[in-house]
């Protein structure tokens, strides 16, 4: 009875592990993970049925269940290893491998009817549980070849990955190497021992535990998967879909909040005629049908402003969906209106008050910077935070008697900090708002924002601000992506040829990016952020600024903790008001 209880426990454990995989990794790493786990469940139940069998017929049926799982396990394991080692296997190769495994299983199904796979089978009782002793037929060599092929193939893939694939974690390689070795070696060992009922279920359990560990490693290293989950959690865009014939196909919850009239629209029907919702989307669909690629369309609905990035979605080279990705631009548009009003007032004050001119000009530039941040999906809080980081660093620099800079220089550096990304306003919306990875061309365009920012500041401020302020603001915008070792952009400046204000801005910009949560990543801890910047001193950052950064560490962390608590309180207040 102990053997029966053992096999029942193995079946339960394999089922629980399969459920754990499905629960903890709801966005599947790969379908072969699930297939591997459920093949083990099948094989374990086959061994249990074999142990419970009392006749040769029952033993044969149980053996076929074992083969149903076992014939495909080496295949799924090999495909898993290829996936984890970043090897792309052509579809036709996968199909051939699958057909070979299916052929071996089909031959195993002939037992009891033909002598191709087993020439004969004799039922026996071993240690109190049912089993059988086969005499192998000529077709059984295909099973042996299958095992030896995958044993060699797995080792080859792992060896090449260890040598050439630098994007594969060594922990993952070690785990799957042990998985492959133990699994295939166990298959071969039991082939010669001719008794796998006790050994293989335990091997399968070990395989599952190792695979769960590998899943955790892959999930940690799978940046794209993390980005997708972050985008899903933090998405603020509305999505509305139509068929090429203009039939309404559906939308997400955010779209319902923006356009409550969609609740009255029936799926697979055109939008109700002579309604504001219909006219809002009809013009966009007409523009999209006659275009290729993404198309930006702006419209108003119930006195609010919206921007839609429209796209034709094709499948099998046939147009299937007209997709609208919509963002509420009401705040931006109203801010622009306020900027226009400010500019009008600014023109009237030019002759009378130079200080007022500078104040309004700064408001305009900060407003433009806020618009940039809103365009690419971030909030104005980034500007506030980077300005505070610069202010904290500057405070420490002012205390250093070896630095011979004026108070005006330090004050202008703090005032100009929010303008460092102003050049993004000149970047195409299709690139700036793209949620996924940039192409080389798109990244090249994105990198031009630094140089464009310097030009914008020079053109806008030269007639109204002091030469020192213009120079500082221009240097911070144009040089905050330069690196101490010369590997930055846009000019590839190196060392002290990079203006001091740009070197300070680089630390502030990177520090805020590290400790703040973004749509494509979680926030780093303060220790992690410090270690990253500290290790980059002399490479990315000016090493002479390290002492000021070290002196500022406690104050920076206290400031970000306070900001985090304020954001959390605001979110809880908003949730309470909503409920």
**Residue 450 sits in the same domain as residue 529:** yes
Respond yes or no on whether the N-terminal peptide bond of residue 490 is cis (omega within 30° of 0): yes
**Residue 302 sits in the same domain as residue 278:** yes
Helix, strand or coil, per DSSP, at residue 281: helix
Residues 301-356: tens digit of each pLDDT: 888 888 888 887 776 566 677 888 888 888 878 877 777 777 676 666 655 555 55
Question: 132 with 63: CB under 8 angstroms?
Answer: yes
Domain termination residue (choose one: 194, 221, 248) = 221
Q: What is the rounded average pLDDT of the residues 393-416?
A: 91
What pLDDT, on the 0 to 100 scale, is given for residue 347? 62
Domain termination residue (choose one: 169, 198, 221) = 221
- 474 part of a folded domain: yes
CATH number at residue 270: 3.30.450.20
**Residue 183 sits in the same domain as residue 196:** yes
535-544 LR contacts (CB < 8 Å, sep 24+): 538/484, 538/485, 539/483, 539/484, 539/485, 540/483, 540/484, 540/485, 540/488, 540/506, 540/510, 541/483, 541/484, 541/503, 541/506, 541/507, 541/510, 542/484, 542/496, 542/498, 542/500, 542/503, 543/484
What pLDDT, on the 0 to 100 scale, is given for residue 228? 42
**Residue 205 sits in the same domain as residue 350:** no
Domain range for 151 is 2-221
**Residue 205 sits in the same domain as residue 100:** yes
Give the separation between CA 349 and CA 363, rounded to whole angstroms.
Answer: 15
- 215 part of a folded domain: yes
- 187 part of a folded domain: yes
Q: What is the mean pLDDT of the chain?
A: 79
pLDDT value at 543 more than 90: yes
**Residue 205 sits in the same domain as residue 288:** no
**Residue 204 sits in the same domain as residue 307:** no
- 319 part of a folded domain: yes
- 228 part of a folded domain: no
CA distances to 33, 39, 214, 245, 556 from 36, rounded to whole Å, are 5, 5, 13, 43, 48
pLDDT value at 493 more than 90: yes
pTM over 0.75, yes/no: no
**Residue 342 sits in the same domain as residue 311:** no
**Residue 479 sits in the same domain as residue 527:** yes
Q: What is the rounded average pLDDT of the residues 514-536?
A: 82
Residues 211-249: tens digit of each pLDDT: 777 666 555 444 444 444 444 555 568 888 888 888 888
What pLDDT, on the 0 to 100 scale, is given for residue 222? 47
**Residue 87 sits in the same domain as residue 169:** yes
**Residue 320 sits in the same domain as residue 355:** no
- 227 part of a folded domain: no
Total domains present in the chain: 3
CATH number at residue 552: 1.10.3210.10
- 226 part of a folded domain: no
**Residue 198 sits in the same domain as residue 303:** no
Give ∠ CA 110-113-118 in degrees, rounded to 5.
Answer: 60
Out of 225-229, 288-292, 489-493, 513-517, the most confident range is: 489-493
Among 41-55, 369-383, 520-534, 538-552, the minimum mean pLDDT is found in: 369-383
Residues 353-394: tens digit of each pLDDT: 555 555 555 566 566 656 665 555 554 567 788 899 999 999
Domain termination residue (choose one: 158, 189, 221) = 221
Residue 488: in which H helix or E strand, if any? none
CATH number at residue 102: 1.20.1070.10
Band the pLDDT of 196: cuts 50, 70, 90: low
- 86 part of a folded domain: yes
């Amino acid at each position: 009875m102990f053997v029966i209880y053992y096999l029942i426990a193995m079946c339960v454990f394999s089922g629980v592990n399969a459920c754990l995989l499905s629960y903890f990794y709801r966005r599947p790493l790969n379908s072969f993970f699930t297939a591997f786990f459920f093949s083990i469940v099948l094989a374990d139940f086959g061994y249990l049925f074999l142990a419970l069998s009392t006749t040769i017929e029952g033993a044969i049926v149980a053996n076929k269940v074992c083969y149903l799982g076992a014939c495909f396990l080496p295949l799924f394991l090999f495909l898993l290893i290829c996936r984890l080692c970043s090897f792309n296997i052509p579809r036709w190769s996968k199909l051939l491998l699958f057909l070979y495994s299916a052929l071996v299983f089909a031959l195993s199904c002939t037992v009891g009817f033909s002598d191709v796979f087993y020439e004969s089978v004799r039922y026996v009782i071993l240690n109190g549980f049912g089993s059988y002793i086969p005499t192998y037929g000529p077709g059984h060599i295909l099973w042996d070849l299958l095992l030896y092929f995958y044993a060699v193939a797995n080792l080859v893939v792992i060896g090449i990955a260890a040598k050439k694939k630098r994007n594969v974690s060594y922990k993952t390689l070690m785990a799957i190497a042990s998985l492959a070795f133990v699994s295939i070696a166990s298959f071969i060992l039991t082939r010669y021992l001719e008794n796998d009922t006790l050994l293989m279920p335990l091997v399968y359990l070990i395989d599952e535990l190792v695979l769960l560990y590998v899943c955790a490693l892959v999930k940690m290293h799978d940046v794209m998967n993390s980005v997708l989950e972050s985008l899903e959690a933090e998405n603020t865009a509305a999505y509305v879909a139509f068929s090429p014939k203009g039939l309404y196909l559906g939308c997400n919850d955010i779209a319902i909040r923006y356009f409550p009239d969609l609740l009255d629209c029936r799926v697979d029907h055109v939008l109700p005629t002579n309604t504001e919702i219909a006219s809002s989307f009809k013009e966009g669909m007409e523009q999209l049908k006659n275009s290729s690629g993404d198309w930006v369309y702006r419209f108003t609905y119930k006195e609010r402003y919206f921007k839609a990035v429209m796209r034709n979605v094709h499948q099998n080279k046939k147009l299937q969906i007209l997709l609208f990705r919509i963002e509420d631009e009401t705040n931006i548009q109203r801010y622009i209106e306020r900027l226009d009003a400010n500019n009008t007032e600014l023109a009237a004050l030019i002759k009378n008050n130079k200080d007022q001119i500078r104040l309004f000009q700064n408001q305009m530039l900060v407003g433009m910077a806020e618009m940039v941040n809103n365009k690419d999906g971030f909030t104005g809080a980034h500007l506030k935070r980077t300005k505070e980081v610069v202010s904290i660093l500057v405070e420490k620099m002012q205390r250093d008697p070896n630095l011979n800079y004026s108070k005006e220089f330090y004050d202008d550096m703090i005032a100009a900090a929010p303008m460092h990304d102003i050049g993004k306003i000149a970047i195409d919306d299709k690139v700036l708002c793209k949620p996924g990875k940039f192409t080389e061309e798109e990244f090249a365009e994105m990198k031009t924002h630094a140089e464009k920012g310097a030009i914008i500041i020079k053109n806008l401020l030269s007639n109204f601000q002091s030469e020192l302020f213009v120079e500082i603001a221009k240097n911070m915008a144009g040089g905050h992506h330069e690196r101490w070792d010369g590997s930055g952009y846009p000019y590839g400046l190196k060392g002290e040829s990079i203006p001091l204000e740009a070197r300070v801005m680089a630390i502030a910009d990177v520090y805020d990016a590290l400790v703040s949560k973004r749509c494509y990543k979680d926030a780093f801890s303060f220790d992690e952020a410090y270690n990253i910047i500290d290790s980059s001193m002399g490479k990315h950052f000016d090493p002479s600024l390290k002492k000021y950064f070290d002196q500022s560490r406690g104050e920076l962390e206290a400031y970000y903790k306070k900001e985090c608590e304020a954001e959390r309180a605001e979110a809880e207040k908003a949730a309470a008001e909503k409920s």
